[in-house]
Structure 1
């Protein structure tokens, strides 16, 4: 009871001081946004532990192909899959196709893209919303002539947003670059059947992996701009 009463009195005092003009509303709004964003992300992290565990286990799975799924490894395999004879090239290309399917799980109901979105979409939406509110409040303080620390603060938040968007852009670019690597390989030296398989793999690569951010769209560099 005393804790509830103290909270009520503190809240009334807080808003009373704001109305009197003794406290900068933008500063307090930024603090509240940061606290709300931090608490919300932590709660979502706790509730999504099982999904994160499943995703990390899948990304570290060595059982299917002897190595975890990775786009850079796939690109190296593609560039080397047409360097030998007909049967060896067929075996290597089949390996590349299986490896690519293992990454994107094209025929599965639960693709990597969906798993990533299930784990990070809500968190990234809260992160972007919180960052927008805080940056707006900090810009208001800069306009009012606050010290240089405010500038460093807003640059730090913008930098955190840039890192997130850059990571999302790298994921999309890596998934789309598989088609370019296949085109740069020696597919022209293969027989007709292997060329058809190569074309199908290039077409399949046109569907990128990405992370969404709710109403903000896809997490890429254009979103940061």
Structure 2
């Protein structure tokens, strides 16, 4: 796939996504999809099911289920995001190939700079998730004595609330179980962070193309009539190319973003209720979830604003020096640019800063609901 090339966009994030079984070495085959389904089923049976039983026991004994509720909502939302991502993998691969191809319109200015920096950031995101997960697991180990006093039904020391029908007395078995559950959580967490990072990366590369188009439009009428006509046709084709890439981009992530928003809204409310109870383990996840949501909304805002600026670039060209035919063609570009390119979150809303504020308000309402008693 194009992502294997060093000069292609998302090459580093796609490389790390292979550890979460979300990106194949080459073109996705049946074996790749079968492997992904098997990993999901294994995670469901060995991680989610014990967590769900632990949650039901908490409800039966009248204990605080906020932490379990947070993990259940997060796991469900993140699993949906991963599944939708794999379903749209071929479209995603096509989009990456299109944005990495410069034969027709040339390479945008600053492309190499952004590729280098995004590859570094992708590595940083991946290792950040690894380090935070291991640190969180260590804090669980520190709390083992206190956990065993209050929750005899829980396997204490595991990174997520975990239940088994038998008591774990062997340290060897405990270490193996802890590493296994940690690996399952890392698959989900790394996948989520890298998918959100890919959204921002693709958005910035579409913006680079838009900036490139704006430069071409500004210089579109600097030569003779015949050259200007060819340049204007090229600009119109470039604009259609950007619109098509944006439409594929929206199709790849619209329902993933809807799942993310629902999961984040409820998860942040659960985490806030834990922070108020001085459970400091909830601070890093809260900060991380808010950053992820803000990143996704920022990507949508950047794409929307950049697409609306195409009309301004058209207007500031020297269109007034040429005949009506040229002006009419340019007017069509300006009219089309009034319809912003957006990244939608399902059929209900688009990703932007106002949506981020609305979700934060909703999560606060969830927090109040969980703490009304």
Q: Same fold (TM over 0.5)?
A: yes
Distance 2:319 2:299 in 1: 31
1:20 aligns with 2:61: yes
TM-score by length of 2: 0.52
In structure 2, relative to structure 1, the CA distance for the partners of 1:53 and 1:172 (3 Å cut) is same
Please give the per-residue CA displacement for 1:153-181, whole angstroms capped at 9, x wherever unaligned.
Answer: 32321111111011011111121110011
Pairing 1:10-159 to 2, within 5 Å after superposition: 12=53, 14-22=55-63, 24-67=64-107, 70-104=209-243, 111-143=244-276, 145-159=277-291
In structure 2, relative to structure 1, the CA distance for the partners of 1:129 and 1:9 (3 Å cut) is closer
Partner of 2:21 in structure 1?
none
Distance 2:348 2:273 in 1: 23
Conserved? CA contact 2:55–2:69, under 8 Å: no
Distance 1:158 1:12 in 2: 28
Conserved? CA contact 1:216–1:223, under 8 Å: no
Q: Which is worse superposed, 38-47 or 56-65? A: 56-65
Conserved? CA contact 1:168–1:211, under 8 Å: yes
Conserved? CA contact 2:303–2:341, under 8 Å: yes
TM-score by length of 1: 0.82
How many pairs are equivalent?
212
Deviation at 1:66, TM superposition (A): 4.4
Unaligned runs of 5+ in 1: 105-110
Partner of 1:108 in structure 2?
none
Distance 2:211 2:54 in 1: 57
Distance 2:57 2:280 in 1: 29
Distance 1:75 1:10 in 2: 52
Structure with higher RCO (Cα < 8 A, 6+ apart): 1
**Among 333, 337, 350, the residue aligned to 1:201:** 333
In structure 2, relative to structure 1, the CA distance for the partners of 1:88 and 1:125 (3 Å cut) is same
Distance 1:42 1:88 in 2: 48
Unaligned runs of 5+ in 2: 1-44, 109-205, 358-373
Q: Which is worse superposed, 118-127 or 78-87? A: 78-87
Deviation at 1:148, TM superposition (A): 4.9
Q: Does the residue aligned with 1:140 lie in a helix, a strand or coil?
A: helix
Deviation at 1:205, TM superposition (A): 1.2
Considering only aligned residues, what root-mean-square deviation do their CA atoms show, in Å? Answer: 2.5
